Structure 1
């Protein structure tokens, strides 16, 4: 079972920030529930395959020097957690957001991404 802090890190780095498709999929399978709901400004997608398509579409289309980095401390409880992040060249982000997760049985069952305007 993973801690909320470990789940936040896996979500950001091993899934959304991972350019290796096989490693990304392996991380998805252990990090999220089968029925994970991912909500961002584009809408809600359900399931690991849909989440994988979103993550791949984002990182695979980004320039090679773009990375996700934590933007502050994590906030956690036993069944939810939140982490702010940046995306872009290290130290020069072009996007900022926050991920809020819901945890069920040691995995992420819901991921809500909010973007800074």
Structure 2
């Protein structure tokens, strides 16, 4: 399967981090990331597909009713991709906004940076 940078950015958000089924998520991880992928989160660095899969499962367990959704189109510059996202309880205003920036090579993500900001909630 040949993935474009835009495809990889959408798969990262929707097919990996939004996927509740562990087997489908594992298949998406195998097709989306390099074996030695490095993911930079605000509070940690995750190295390798297995660690990324474990961390994705943790996020699903911590907020099982929350969903990610794109907040605009994917931006691409050569082998870099950028996608803004929103995250929060399904059917409710988002709690978090953020962005993913990925370096892609040979049809997979080799390095991913995630930045997040809490969305102010109405009082």
TM-score class normalised by the smaller sequence: over 0.9
Taking structure 1 as the reference length, the TM-score comes to 0.93
Q: Which whole-Å deviations, capped at 9, do the CAs of 1:17-72 have from their partners, x for residues lacking one?
A: 111001000100010001100001112111000101111111122142x2111111
Q: CA RMSD in A?
A: 1.2
Q: Structure 2: which 5+ runs fail to align?
A: 119-123
Moved >6 Å (runs of 4+): none
Taking structure 2 as the reference length, the TM-score comes to 0.89
Please give the residue correspondences for 1:19-98 in structure 2 after superposition, counting only pairs within 5 Å. 19-64=20-65, 66-88=66-88, 89-98=90-99
Q: Structure 1: which 5+ runs fail to align?
A: none
Contact kept? 1:19, 1:60, Cα under 8 Å: no
How many correspondences in the alignment? Answer: 116
Q: After TM superposition, give the deviation of residue 91 of structure 1 in Å.
A: 5.0
